[in-house]
Amino acid sequence: MSEILLEARDLARHYRLPRTSLFHPSPVVRAVDGVSFELLRGRSFGIVGESGCGKSTLARLVMALEPPSAGSVRLLGCDLTRLPAGELRRLRSQFQMVFQDPFGSLDPRHTIGRAVGEPLSLLGDADGAARAERVAEALAAVGLSPADRAKYPHEFSGGQRQRIAIARALITRPALIVADEPVSALDVSVRAQVLNLMQDLQDRNGLTYLFISHDLAVVEYVCDEVAVMYLGRIVERGPTQAVFRRPAHPYSRALLDAVPRPEPGRRRRRRQLAGQVGSATERPAGCAFAPRCPLAEPRCRTQAPALRPLDEGRFAACHFAEAMLAG
Amino acid sequence: MSLLEVNALRVRLRGPDGPVEAVRGVSFSLDRGQTMGLVGESGCGKSMTALALLGLLPEGGLLHGSVRFEGRELTQLSDRELCRLRGNRIAMVFQEPMTALNPLHSIGRQIAEPLCLHRGLSSEAARGVAGELLHRVGMPDARARLDAYPHQLSGGQRQRALIAMALACEPDLLIADEPTTALDVTIQAQILELIVDLVHERGMALILISHDLGVIAETVERVAVMYAGRIVEMGPVATVFGRLAHPYSRGLFAAIPRIGGGRSGGGRGRLAAIPGRVPDLAALPTGCAFADRCGHAQPVCRLAEPPPLAVGPEHWAACGRLDAVLASDG
Amino acid sequence: MSSPAALAGRGVLRRALRHPSFASGGALTLLLVGVAALSLAWTPHSAYLIQVRQRLLPPSGLHWLGTDTLGRDVLSMLMVGAQNSIMVGVVAVSIGLTAGVALGLLAAARRGWVEEAVMRLADFGFAFPAILLAILFTAVFGPSAVNAIIAIGIFNVPVFARIGRAAANVVWAREFVLAARAAGKGRLRITLEHVLPNILPILVVQATIQFAIAILAEAALSYLGLGTQPPNPSWGRMLNEAQTMIFTAPLLAVFPGIAIALSVLGLNLMGDGLRDLVDPRLARAR
Q: Report the alpha-carbon distance of residue A262 to residue B252 in Å, rounded.
A: 11
Q: Which residue has the higher pLDDT, C270 or A189?
A: C270
Which of A65, A109, A154 is nearest residue C182 as measured by Cβ atoms? Answer: A65
Q: In the complex, which subunits touch A with 3 or more CB pairs below 8 angstroms?
A: B, C
Contact B24, B231 (CB under 8 A): no
- Give the model's pLDDT for residue A36: 95
Q: Give the CA-trace dihedral at B11, B14, B18, B20, to 10 degrees.
A: -30
- Out of A267-281, B236-250, B266-280, C244-258, give the one with best mean pLDDT: B236-250
Closest CB to A260 among B154, B215, B274: B215
Residue B261: what pLDDT?
Answer: 65
- Residue A177 φ then ψ, to 5°: -120, 125
The pLDDT of residue C2 is 36
Give the nearest chain A residue to C185 (CA atoms): A122
Residues B79 and B82: their CA atoms lie apart, in Å, by 5
C110 and A CB contact within 8 Å: no
Question: Which chains are within 8 Å of C by 3+ CB pairs?
Answer: A
Distance from CA of A321 to the nearest CA of C (A): 38
| Residue from the list A89, A96, A104 with its beta carbon closest to the beta carbon of C176 | A104
The 10 Å Cβ neighbour count of residue C230 is: 11
Cβ-proximal residues to A98 (8 Å cutoff; 6+ apart), any chain: A105, A162, A165, A166, A169, A177, A178, A179, A180, A182
Separation between Cα atoms, residue A247 and residue B91, nearest integer Å: 40
**Is some CB atom of chain A closer than 8 A to the CB atom of B32?**
no
CA distance C93 to C204: 11
**DSSP string spanning chain C?**
---HHHHHHHHHHHHHHH-HHHHHHHHHHHHHHHHHHHHHH--SS-SS---GGGTTPPS-SSSTT-B-TT--BHHHHHHHHHHHHHHHHHHHHHHHHHHHHHHHHHHHHH-HHHHHHHHHHHHHHHHS-HHHHHHHHHHHH-S-HHHHHHHHHHHHHHHHHHHHHHHHHHHHTSHHHHHHHHTT--HHHHIIIIIHHHHHHHHHHHHHHHHHHHHHHHHHHHHTTSSSPTTS--HHHHHHHHHTTTTT-THHHHHHHHHHHHHHHHHHHHHHHHHHHH-HHHHHH-
CA B47 to chain centre: 6
pLDDT means per 10 residues in chain B (330 residues)?
92 83 93 94 89 85 91 88 86 81 87 85 90 86 86 84 87 91 84 89 93 91 94 94 93 87 54 84 87 91 92 93 85
A118 to chain C, closest Cα gap in Å: 7
B212 to chain A: which residues are within 8 Å by CB? 260
Look at B218 and A244 and tell me if their CB atoms are within 8 Å.
Answer: no
pLDDT at A61 over 60: yes
Average pLDDT over chain A, rounded to an integer: 88
For A92-136, how does the pLDDT look when each residue is reduced to its tens digit (9 = 90+)? 999 999 998 888 889 988 999 999 999 988 887 678 888 899 999
**Is the previous residue joined to B275 through a cis bond, with omega within 30 degrees of 0?**
no
Report phi then psi at B73, rounded to 5.
-80, 110
A202 → chain B, closest CA residue: B268
pLDDT of residue B268: 57
- Model confidence, pTM: 0.83
C71 vs C77: CA distance, rounded Å: 11
Predicted local confidence at residue C286, as pLDDT: 34
Asked if the model's pLDDT at residue C165 lies above 60, the reply is yes
Q: Residue C11 has what pLDDT?
A: 65
Statement: residue A44 has pLDDT above 50: yes
Contact in structure between B142 and B135 (CB atoms under 8 Å): yes
Q: Where does the pLDDT of residue A51 fall: very low under 50, low under 70, confident under 90, or very high at 90 and above? A: confident
Query: Rounded mean pLDDT of A148-174?
Result: 90
Chain C hits for A118, CB-CB cut-off 8 Å, are 180, 183, 185
pLDDT tens string C82-99: 998 899 899 999 999 999
